[in-house]
Amino acid sequence: MAGLITSLKVDKYNGAIVIISITVATLIHFPETISLFHKSHGEILFPNMDALDVVSEVTFTFISLLLLFTINGQLFHFNSPATPISWKSLFLSFIVMWVFSNLLGKSFVFLHQTFNLPAIESTVHHYLHPLRDIIMSTLVTTSSYIIHLIRRQQLITTENLGLQSENIRNQYEALKNQLNPHMLFNSLNTLRSLIREDKDRAQDYIQELSHVLRYTLQSNESLVVSLKDEMNFVSAYLFLLKMRYEDNLKFNINIDAQYENYSLPPMAVQMLIENAVKHNEISSRRPLTIDINTDKKGNLKVSNAVQPKINSNPGMGVGLANLSKRYQLIFHKEISITHDNNFIIEIPLSNKIECVH
């Protein structure tokens, strides 16, 4: 892929040179071309000139410009956007191009005299040659420099985008790594208790825990997952929680099937459930119900009654701050938090990826 992109950039550079060369070659011989259509005026300035002579002059000028661009690129590295071009290089480029342009003009005269190559022989045309040499060398140098600046700016922009993308990925990986150890620590604590109390239930717990851990490892390779995959993972995670809290923790889940292929950050729903469990009392005296559903706006909503634990921290914890930051990095969107008698979190689902990959 990188080779293809480089090839396309080279082709675009060569294409620009060809277009410039054709345009300049045509404009330089514009007076002669016009004179072909005004015979009386043309006979005065360019006697005995015909269309073949003009075509020959334009063609040779076009070839000369291509050679000048090639020589200029090789000598002064105008075709290398990574190489800076100094004012000294620009001045030397102009001088060298002027010398080569003059030599190419003399070569054309030699070919005309030796091999009878079609050419314009009028005095006015010969007097214009020095001016045309200056125009050609100036245009070759300035055009090469402008193209070089454009390509250099594109290179800098591409490098900056690459650095930004890499920085986003590094930030994202750091954020994800804050969550996984916390969930694993809680799960292992629950497993330790089950092994002491009920080995059969512990076996079931281990099986579902393996599903959870497998998803966790796989999700580390992706910036986003589908809602369907996330909810399949959540089902296994809910099993682990039910094993721990039994009938004291209940879930009402209502997911519209039309949003199953929408995207969200991996383990986002799990984190919201974990946040509710962490900050609310769950007991036979005060059981907790967590509602998970989608709305018509394409948001996923997780809500629960506020049942704060004694000495619990009412502020936004690491988990919600983490999820909010991940949404900003990936989707450039914000999550919504409503906190009154119920704690409600709305996270937008996306049917397209708006992040930089």
Neighbours of 3 (CB within 10 A): 7
Domain match, 157 and 29 both: yes
Report the first-to-last Cα separation within the chain, whole angstroms: 15
Supply the CATH number for residue 271's domain.
3.30.565
Q: Would you write out the chain's pLDDT as a tens digit for each of its 357 residues?
A: 444 344 445 567 788 889 999 999 999 888 888 887 776 554 566 777 888 988 999 999 999 999 999 999 889 888 788 788 889 999 999 999 999 999 998 898 888 888 888 888 877 667 778 888 999 999 999 999 998 888 888 888 877 776 566 556 655 555 555 555 666 777 777 778 778 777 777 888 888 888 887 887 776 667 788 999 999 999 988 988 888 888 999 999 999 999 999 999 888 898 899 888 888 899 988 999 999 999 988 899 999 999 888 765 555 466 788 788 888 878 888 899 988 889 999 999 988 644 434
Cβ 303 vs Cβ 345: under 8 Å? yes
Domain match, 295 and 342 both: yes
| Position 181 in a domain | no
DSSP 94-127: HHHHHHHHHHHHHHHHHHHHHH-------HHHHH
Domain match, 21 and 84 both: yes
Range of the domain at 285: 198-348
Which of 161, 188, 211 terminates a domain? The answer is 161
- pTM here? 0.51
Domain match, 240 and 306 both: yes
| Position 326 in a domain | yes
- Locate 183 and state its tokens: 């969930």
Domain match, 101 and 209 both: no
Which residue, 147, 141, 136, is CA-closest to 25? 136
Domain match, 6 and 155 both: yes
| Position 114 in a domain | yes
* Interatomic CA distance for residues 180 and 186, integer angstroms: 10
Domain match, 262 and 137 both: no
